[in-house]
Amino acid sequence: MEATIVQDKIKHYPVLLKEIISIITPQYGGTFIDCTFGQGGYTREILKNKDNKVIGIDRDTECLKVAKKIEKEFPDQFIFKNLNFSKLGNLKLKNENVKGVLFDLGYSFPQIKDPIKGLSFNSSGSLDMRMGLNNFSAKETVNKLDGKSLIKIFKSFGDERDAKLIVKNILKERLRREIDTPHLVKIIEKSKKRNNKKTHSATKVFQALRIFVNKEISELIYGMIHAAKVLKKDGLLVVVTFHSLEDKIVKYFFRSLSEHKSVSRYQPKEIQEEILFKLHQKKPIFPSNQELKENYPSRSAKLRCLIKRENFYDFKTDILDKFKNLIEIENIGLDL
């Protein structure tokens, strides 16, 4: 979530920037991985220190334009990789001096306003929602997937109470015509039993579709697992979430690793298990009042940070079992 409108101009606004920089500054002098590079806001700030190196990662090819500019400005400090952050382990960073890994799970202003991506319910463009390196679009999901699967997606990823009625009307309407963004919004508005004046009626369904199309649950889980592996001693895993499901997953992963004893899989079995991570603080960090005034969309942001206590690579975690049901729902569309 890296932008807002200021005086009719687009201003890139990395959420919780001051707070993040304050947390990671003590670790300066190593490699930082910006797993959601976006418009490069966090990366630029980190690169101001000449002792730092940043590896930027993003699945969106549109980020290449920004990445090339930063590569010219910081040729010896920055490299960019166009890939999903769940593939972080493919970069072979085991011996890299990784001091911090950052995830900002929000969408940037250019992404939300891009008519081709069709991420917003205010869009008049295609019902696409693909962020890059995807197997299928939201258009294919809504127009081809069976009703039971759509209900699971809307309920599980959007907590949509009226999922059954919305899906019933989708199935009826798609017999007549292909459903696009404006048409889907109308179907949802017609189907909703209650109207929440604070939140648009299509918010939850569109959130669910974005998560499903981009496999955001498994992306986040595998991304955090790989990040925790490549970090060095005292390294920081920083995650900014924007909705309750994301935060639930991050909170569980962080607490399970900082409260339950574990052990590196490559250490001798006789070594006593210990707590390998610790929380930066128990409660999440929220945007300041000043930031809320300047960038209202940041109101839903929550920042959590995990600290690695020892040098090791592999470790035990039960997070894949904990959220197995959500991952299975994400995989419904593999044969679309």
Q: pLDDT averaged over the chain? A: 87
Residues 200-237 pLDDT 10s? 888 899 999 999 999 999 999 999 999 999 999 999 99
In a domain, 335, yes or no: no
> Do 146 and 82 fall within a single domain?
no
- Looking at residue 178, which CATH number applies to its domain? 1.10.150.170
Query: How many domains does the structure of the chain reveal?
Result: 2
Q: Are residues 150 and 87 part of one domain?
A: no
Q: What domain range is 42 assigned to?
A: 3-108+216-312
Q: Same structural domain for residues 77 and 148?
A: no
In this structure, the answer to whether residues 77 and 120 fall within a common structural domain is no
Same domain, 165 and 304: no
Whether residue 319 is contained in a domain is answered as: no
Is the per-residue pLDDT at 266 higher than 70? no
pLDDT (0 to 100) of residue 134: 77
Given 162, 197, 215, the domain boundary residue is: 215
For 103-114, letters b (16+ CB in 10 Å) and e give: bbbbbbbbbbbb
CA angle, 325 as apex, 319 and 329 as ends, to 5°? 125
Is residue 317 situated within a structural domain?
no
**CA dihedral of residues 214, 182, 147, 197 (deg, nearest 10):** 90
Does the residue 332 lie in any domain? no
Tokens of 274: 């210990």
DSSP bridge partners of 33: 55, 101
pTM, entire model = 0.89
Looking at the structure, tell me whether residues 238 and 288 fall in a common domain: yes
Task: Tell me how far apart the alpha carbons of residues 12 and 132 are, in angstroms, rounded to a whole number.
Answer: 21
Give the integer Cα–Cα distance in Å for 5 and 12. Answer: 9
Judge whether residue 199 has pLDDT over 90: no
Q: What is the CATH number of the domain that holds 268?
A: 3.40.50.150
Residues 67 and 152 in one domain: no
Q: Domain check: are 229 and 146 in the same one?
A: no
Please give the pLDDT value at position 264.
61
Q: Taking 50 as the threshold, does the pLDDT of residue 9 lie above it?
A: no
> Residue-wise over 307-330: b if at least 16 C-beta within 10 A, else e?
bbeeebeebebebeeebeebeebb
Question: Is 14 a member of any domain?
Answer: yes
Q: Which two tokens stand for residue 193?
A: 């039993």
Res 13: pLDDT? 78
Are both 78 and 124 inside the same structural domain?
Answer: no
**Residue 330 belongs to some domain of the structure:** no
291 & 257 share domain: yes
